[in-house]
Every structure is written in C-alpha cells, then in structure tokens.
Amino acid sequence: SQTIHQWPATLVQPVGSPLSLECTVEGTSNPNLYWYRQAAGRGLQLLFYSVGIGQISSEVPQNLSASRPQDRQFILSSKKLLLSDSGFYLCAWRANGGGDTQYFGPGTRLTVL
C-alpha cells in the first residue's frame, strides 16, 4: 500500500530564515505530487505540482519554491521566510495517468515569528 510522509511535523522559524520541508511517497512510482497551504481562515491553496523529476509548476507567485530531486521526493523551500508564510503545509500525491483519488500527507505546521 502507498504511504506519504512529511517532516518536520511542526516548525517555528524566525522571519528571514530559510525553509526546507520534505515530502516522500512510498509504494508507487512516478506519482503526481502537490504542495498545498492551508492558512487560518482561508481554504486550501495549491502552491506547486510536479508530474516528474525536475518538473515543477507554480500556481501562485510567492516567496516559496519547490523541487523534485527524486521520483518520490518533493521539497518545499524558501530562502527568506515572511510572516505571511505561516500556515499548515500539506503534500499530496495522485497516481500518474490514471488515478483520480488524491491522497494527503499528515502536514507540517509552520509558524514564522
């Protein structure tokens, strides 16, 4: 069966510091991968998606970037965090080319102070 992992689970960072959140998927190959942010009082917002290694599409302009160095690894980064980057970050995967259900990871709670 497939599982999706995210770490860290929680993170408190000062403004201006760098960020690296990691997501890995097990039990599937060549998945579509997604990064979402869920901010207080707002719905889930898609940040990035990837259909393969090194292929990243950005949904909204922002202070963040994403990379996919391996087939089942998706990384969300920032060089300098802003207060507005605080939120709950969720990684998700969907089977490439046929699967319809999207599955989410446990999330990372990021607080920028």
Partner 1 sequence: KQEVTQIPAALSVPEGENLVLNCSFTDSAIYNLQWFRQDPGKGLTSLLLIQSSQREQTSGRLNASLDKSSGRSTLYIAASQPGDSATYLCAVRRGKAAGNKLTFGGGTRVLVKP
- Does residue number 1 form part of the binding site for partner 1 (CB under 8 A)? no
- Does residue number 43 form part of the binding site for partner 1 (CB under 8 A)? yes
Task: Look up residue 67 and give its DSSP letter.
Answer: E
Binding-site size for partner 1 (CB under 8 A) equals 24
DSSP string of 77-97? EESS--GGG-EEEEEEEE-TT
> Of 63, 102, 111, 113, which one interacts with partner 1 (CB under 8 A)?
102
Instruction: Report CA Rg, the chain.
Output: 13
The region of 11-19, 41-49, 62-70, 75-83 touching partner 1 under the rule CB under 8 A is: 41-49
> Of 11, 22, 32, 62, which one interacts with partner 1 (CB under 8 A)?
32
Name the burial class of residue 61, with classes exposed (0-12), middle (13-18) and buried (19+) by CB atoms within 10 angstroms of its CB.
exposed
- Nearest Cα residue to 64 out of 17, 111, 12, 19: 19
List of residues contacting partner 1 (CB under 8 A): 6, 32, 34, 43-44, 46, 49, 51, 57, 59, 88, 90, 92, 94, 96, 100-107, 109
